[in-house]
């Protein structure tokens, strides 16, 4: 009888431990909060909760229809206009959706923001307002970009096989103030140039965008 009781007790303990393990595998409320998507995080495949397959319906479900507005903006040099969708238009959280099909809003081309101090950031904490020096340290190789002061200024042309070379996240630079004419105009610059080195902490990320068309 004692043997039977001992066996029953041992079985009960084993079952209890096993049951506790099963229960511990279920996320608590706090754990669920932790694993929520960071709505301001930009990765190579997502902008917060937005992914490549998101369409206008998805955006309205995520952000609420009142925060999703179609607008027409100027293209480069205002030579033409572009139909876009703005999320949180007119606020510090605004960002812009550019469509492959602006009529049906079924396929996103890219997403971007150029607001100063916008909350959107990469996993390496690069965001609008970060410096060229920040990008350079992250990339690990020199960076080539176009000169400033014209409609196509500040576009990055090459990461020279650095860490950012194949990223779907793109950055456009700006130099708010300069007396150095060699950094202005339709010319190619790079971070090895003496004039650029002097301005590494003055040149900033003006625009950050995520392309869903890279490699297509």
Q: Phi/psi zone of residue 84: left (φ > 0), alpha (ψ -120 to 50 degrees), beta?
A: beta
Question: What was the pLDDT predicted at 15?
Answer: 40
Coil, strand or helix: which one is 155? strand
Cβ atoms of residues 139 and 198 within 8 Å: no
pLDDT digits (tens, 9 = 90+) for 175-210: 998 888 899 999 999 999 999 999 999 999 999 999
Q: What are phi and psi of 62, to 5 degrees?
A: -75, -50
Q: What are phi and psi of 39, to 5 degrees?
A: -70, -10
Model confidence at 16: pLDDT above 70: no
Pick 21 or 144 by higher pLDDT: 144
Q: Average per-residue pLDDT in the chain?
A: 85
How do strand 108-113 and strand 81-87 relate by DSSP bridges?
Answer: unpaired
Residue 148 is given by DSSP the state B
Question: What was the pLDDT predicted at 79?
Answer: 66
Coil, strand or helix: which one is 153? coil
Question: What was the pLDDT predicted at 105?
Answer: 94
Q: Which residue spans within 65-168 are E strands per DSSP?
A: 68-74, 81-87, 95-99, 108-113, 121-122, 144-146, 156-158
Model confidence at 8: pLDDT above 80: no
Closest CA to 51 of 168, 165, 206: 168
**What whole-number distance in Å separates Cα of residue 161 and Cα of residue 106?**
33
Question: What was the pLDDT predicted at 179?
Answer: 81
Question: What was the pLDDT predicted at 213?
Answer: 85
Model confidence at 215: pLDDT above 70: no
Domain 41-211, CATH: 2.60.460.10
| Token pair of 197 as six digits | 């080195």
């Amino acid at each position: 009888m004692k043997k039977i009781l001992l066996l029953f007790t041992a079985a009960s303990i084993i079952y209890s431990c096993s049951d506790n393990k099963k229960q511990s595998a279920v996320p608590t409320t706090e754990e669920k909060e932790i694993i929520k998507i960071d709505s301001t995080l930009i990765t190579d495949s997502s902008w917060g909760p937005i992914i490549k397959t998101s369409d206008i319906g998805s955006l309205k479900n995520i952000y609420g229809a009142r925060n999703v507005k179609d607008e027409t903006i100027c293209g480069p040099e205002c030579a033409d206009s572009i139909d876009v969708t703005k999320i949180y238009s007119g606020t510090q959280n605004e960002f812009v959706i550019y469509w492959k099909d602006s009529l049906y809003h079924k396929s996103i081309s890219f997403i971007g923001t150029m607001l100063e101090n916008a909350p959107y950031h990469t996993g390496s904490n690069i965001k609008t307002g970060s410096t060229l020096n920040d990008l350079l340290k992250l990339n690990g190789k020199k960076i080539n970009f176009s000169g400033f002061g014209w409609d196509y200024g500040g576009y990055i042309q090459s990461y020279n096989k650095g860490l950012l070379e194949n990223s779907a996240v793109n950055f456009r630079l700006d130099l708010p103030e300069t007396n150095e004419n060699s950094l202005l105009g339709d010319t190619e610059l790079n971070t090895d140039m003496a004039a650029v080195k002097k301005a590494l902490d003055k040149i900033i990320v003006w625009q950050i965008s995520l392309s869903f068309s890279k490699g297509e």
